[in-house]
Amino acid sequence: MEKKRYFPNLNGIRCIAALLVVFHHLEQAKHALGIANIYEFPIIQHAGRLGVGLFFVLSGFLITYLLLEERGRFGNVDAKKFYLRRVFRIWPIYFLMIGLSFFVFPHIDILDYPGVEEKLTVNLSERLTLLLLVLPNFAFVLYDLPYWCAQMWSIGVEEQFYYLWPWLIKYPKRRLPIILFFLALTAGMLYLGLEMVDPSDEARSEMISTFLGQFRIQTMALGGFCAWLVYKGKTGILDVVFRKDVQIVAYMMLLALFFSGVHFYGFLEVYALFFGFFILNVSCNPNTIISLQNPVMDHLGKVSYGLYLYHVVVIVLIVNLLNMYAPEWKGIGYQVTLYVLTFICSVLVSSLSYSYFEKPLLAFKDRRFGR
């Protein structure tokens, strides 16, 4: 039986994505709390969405390749084992953060954040029901979420991708009815949610727009297409993608687009194309001009899921501690200290979570449900 393929640099990609999100949320929190910030710059506002977008394309790439590989090795896809592997990877700290955000953090004064009280009292049962059903993107759009766990909307989008994707790989000849059923089910759930909330016409349009803006199945599908190119050995396309001059031009265009901060219709899909190009090169091209293989990025990539979920609470904690013990402190020293403490503490919490909570569960799921 063929040995499973190993892709280098994936942890480096996760590291970049996580740091973009942390950077965005730190400036966002400073903006909301009236601390000197650079959140108004378009590049800062886009950083979080682009970090999540990079996660989405990478997820689509890796999950698709693993499913194609499984079907190639065993002749089928074991959907039950696939879902159990995902459950043991995603749900433990997802539900931990829900429990902490609704039942622990509200009682800790040093974690207070403006506006959370309303989100913990109004429509509480509806919020919790959607979160417990692992539909945080629906909860975010329909009712909003406490700031400590608002970033979990993207977990819902990932989970819905997982609900769809294995069946497309398992039953390739039935793709159209599977996709139509998935879209109809998603639209029906959103419609029911909107009927329950019964917002004004303007608010309804805004909710639908937000939901569609976050529902980035197409960018994950693009990652899946990149995986298909690699799995099927489409050298005609890959040889062009892997050329050094093409890499140089593509990365220069990506940097120019990123630092310009330009926003246009479909800009996330355009970035997804660059992200797919980037992932293909750093993970599959022996002549890649960029390598992310180093111990720091590797570690940050390993703990990136925890880093993504925990960092918002750490930001709130550090800001409130500095306000409490150094209320008059401002300037560059304050900003540097805030960034350094946020980064160090976020990595520390994420590393402890990975070593003592996530890693044992990962070992169990690989041993019990791996193929």
Residue 75 is classified by DSSP as S
Q: What's the pLDDT at 264? A: 83
Cβ neighbours for 308, distance < 8 A, ≥ 6 positions apart:
18, 21, 55, 151
**DSSP of 320-354, one letter per residue?**
HHHHHH-TT--SHHHHHHHHHHHHHHHHHHHHHHI
Distance CA 36, CA 20 (A): 19
Give me 320's structure tokens: 């409130």
Q: Which residue has the tokens 């219709």?
A: 265
CB within 8 Å of 357: residues ≥ 6 apart: 92, 93, 96
Q: In sequence order, what are the residues at sequence separation of 6 or more whose Cβ sits closer than 8 angstroms to the Cβ of residue 223?
A: 56, 57, 58, 59, 60, 61, 62, 64, 272, 275, 276, 279
Confidence at residue 2, expressed as pLDDT on a 0 to 100 scale: 56
Report, in this order, helix, strand and coil percent for the chain, each rounded to 5. 80, 0, 20
Nearest Cα residue to 320 out of 344, 289, 342: 342
Reported for 261-264, long-range contacts at CB under 8 A and 24+ positions apart, including other chains, are: 261/41, 261/42, 261/43, 261/45, 261/46, 262/42, 263/42, 263/46
Sign of the torsion angle spanned by Cα atoms 274, 351, 299, 92:
negative
Amino acid at 259: F
- Going residue by residue through the chain, which has 371 residues, state the pLDDT in tens, using 9 for 90 and above: 456 788 999 999 999 999 999 999 999 999 999 999 999 999 998 999 999 999 999 999 999 999 999 999 999 999 999 999 999 999 999 999 999 999 999 999 999 999 999 999 999 999 999 999 999 999 999 999 999 999 999 999 999 999 999 999 999 999 999 999 999 999 999 999 999 999 999 999 999 999 999 999 999 999 999 999 999 999 999 999 999 999 999 999 999 999 998 888 889 999 999 999 999 999 999 999 999 999 999 999 999 999 999 999 999 999 999 999 999 998 999 999 999 999 999 999 999 999 999 999 999 999 999 98
Distance, CA of 302 to chain centre: 14
Interior angle at CA 295, CA 293 and CA 300, nearest 5? 95
pLDDT at 3: 64
